[in-house]
Chain A
Amino acid sequence: MGLDAATGAGVPLGRLRLSAEEHRRLRHQARLRRELTGWLFLAPMFACFVIFLVLPVIGTVWWSLRSGGLGGETKFIGFRNFTDLPDTVGAGTAITNTLVFALISVPLILIGALAIALLLARIERGGSIYRFLIYFPVLVPGVVAALIWLFMTNVDFGLFNEVARALGGKPVVWLGADHALTVLAILDVWRNVGYWALFFVAAIIGLPKELYQAADLDGASALARLRYLTLPLLRRMIFFAVVVATIWGLQVFDTALVLTNGGPGTATTTVIYRVWLYMFGATNKIGVASAISLVLIIAILLLTLVQMRLLRGRRGGD
């Protein structure tokens, strides 16, 4: 329309020229259209993001400063939920359990995944069968995995004790207070090692081949290749994997619920398990549940920031 007005208002035919004002108006309209389009494309997803992610995060913060129940009224009590946390019997245990769990499962997962990836990346034939088998446990929902392991850890007829007996040893109470957390961690390793193995395979395949050829010509041993070539090159990937695997490890809940119900005693009560207990278990504890959730969220955010910062730093250096 602007153009027509320009051409119609006595501008000689064949010359399309806009005055400064019309130019500005056109640019303004184009920019408006661009803004609108951008937001229109973004809006549906962003709306869901705000409603179902941002709002709940704000809600968690809001509730962590209050005491009261789900259906009823809540009162503002400031930071008391947080200051009370260290005194809450069981809060410390939940945190310790979660950390120990992560400390056992994450290194095992990553070392196992790396080892598998190194083997898989170099295998010549039949790789896809191994990939399928190794990745399969990843697809098992936590609940189903826990049921399978419940069966296998049965003291009298579970697979583990059958093997133990066959090897001449004594049957072990796998889900007893001493071993339950470890068993939970091994369950997690079993479920996740395939995922990270394929991750590292993709990363290894992406490494520059010339370096390896050069190393071969120089007669480097496999161990030397690993130490001086592969690991340093994969440094960023490994670091990323550590952070993400840890973040996932900190959220363990469904397997703890189905395998042991947080027990025996509090041996496998994790942080999210406690949140869940408090959220619905009693009328007045929604503030505490939110406070614990918030602490977890902040811990995860810190880990994420650390990862982003360190990776960005390295990006320049690499």
Chain B
Amino acid sequence: MVATIQLDAAQHARKRVRSRRQREFARHLALGLIAFILVAPFYYVLLASLKDSTEIFSYPPKLLPIPLYLGNYRDLLWDTGFLRWMFNTLFVASSVTVIKVFLDSMAGFALAKIDFTGKRIVFMLMLILLMVPIGALIVPLWSLVSTLGLINTYLALILPPLANPLGAILMRQFILGLPRDLENAARLDGLSEFAIYWRIVLPLIKPGLVVLAVITFTDQFMSFTWPLIATTSDELQVLTVGIAALRAHGGANYGLWSASAIMSLVPIGIFFFVLQRQFLARSLAGALKQ
């Protein structure tokens, strides 16, 4: 009797391992298919960017890039303001990120750890206006920036995003999670509030800071509506606006558009590859808001 049970147990174990492997295989298959569908357009565009536009235009079209044509990239980099746009975007995105991380962490620190009048009202106000989209505010925002004489300056691109309360709220959540004793001890030691913020709180919430930085940088990289109307000269065009403007030239230069799409994805792709886990945390940040 005992032997039979043992055999059954072994068989059972083998079956379990096998079905586990089957399930794993099925998962890989499904995920692979989904990933393929999601990423296929990029490959297609990459191919198009390596073909001469007039060739793309030929009916019926040829699909394989033989011979490899680098003219689109050359035209993009030399004849358009692409490099300038890239610089502007990176400059603005980095500036906003650095400034916002500090401003928001300070604000979050105040909201979380310091008791002052109006704290609740300020926080409620931020929560309520959290979801108001910048797209619905372009009218008065434009008028305001124009009155301040800031249209077509870097400041016009850097200042408005600082108003987004998501960062402050996020930082508040993170800082609330820190134990009270740490700062109480620091206060007893006579550290000023700023020193507490700088030397104790900031290092402890570093993961939160990185999440905020990633969110901010990505959002700035992709923003379009506001830069479209806030900048009027060629020198200040950002990547998204510049690429949209490439459509303006008569005659559909699909090769050039494709090259611009691929080139614009290079920096963010590298950024993402290096900081993958923090990007995962970006999605997670939404969960933390609760």
- CB of A279 within 8 A of CB of B114, answer no
Q: Which residues of A contact B131 (CB under 8 A)?
A: 247, 300-301, 303-304
Q: Which residues of A contact B182 (CB under 8 A)?
A: none
Q: Which residues of A contact B114 (CB under 8 A)?
A: 34, 37-38, 41
Per DSSP, chain B at the interface is: helix
Interface residues of A in 125-168 (CB under 8 A from B): 126, 128, 130-137, 139-144, 147-152, 154, 156-157, 159, 162
Q: Which of B4-12, B66-74, B75-83, B258-266 contacts A (4 or more CB under 8 A)?
A: B258-266
Q: Which residues of A contact B268 (CB under 8 A)?
A: 139
- CB of B283 within 8 A of CB of A272, answer no
Per DSSP, chain A at the interface is: helix
Give complex CA distance A237, B288 in Å: 10
- CB of A46 within 8 A of CB of B137, answer no
Interface residues of B in 170-226 (CB under 8 A from A): 193, 197, 218, 221-225
| Contact residue among A244, A280, A293 (Cβ-Cβ distance under 8 Å from B136) | A293
Q: Which residues of A contact B142 (CB under 8 A)?
A: 279
Residue B86 CB within 8 A of the other chain: no
Give the interface residue-count category, chain A: 35 or more
Closest chain B residue to A305, Cβ basis: B128
Residue B110 CB within 8 A of the other chain: yes
Q: Given A41-B114, A60-B137, A136-B272, are A201 and B280 also a contact pair (CB < 8 Å)?
A: yes
Closest chain A residue to B277, Cβ basis: A128
Give complex CA distance A147, B258 in Å: 8
Closest chain B residue to A236, Cβ basis: B290
Nearest CB on A from B134, distance (A): 9
Q: Mark A83-104, 1 if CB is under 8 A from B, else 0.
A: 0000000000000000000000
Q: Given A135-B272, A203-B287, are A147 and B133 also a contact pair (CB < 8 Å)?
A: no
Extra inter-chain contacts (11) besides given A48-B163, A55-B140, CB under 8 Å: A35-B117, A134-B35, A140-B265, A142-B224, A157-B56, A202-B283, A202-B284, A203-B287, A276-B138, A294-B136, A297-B132
Residues of B within 8 A of A (CB): 24, 27-28, 30-32, 34-35, 38-42, 44-45, 48, 56, 59-61, 63, 103-104, 106-107, 109-111, 114-117, 119, 122, 125-133, 135-144, 159-160, 162-165, 167-168, 193, 197, 218, 221-225, 229, 239-241, 243-244, 247, 254, 257-258, 260-261, 264-265, 268-269, 272-273, 276, 279-284, 286-287, 289-290
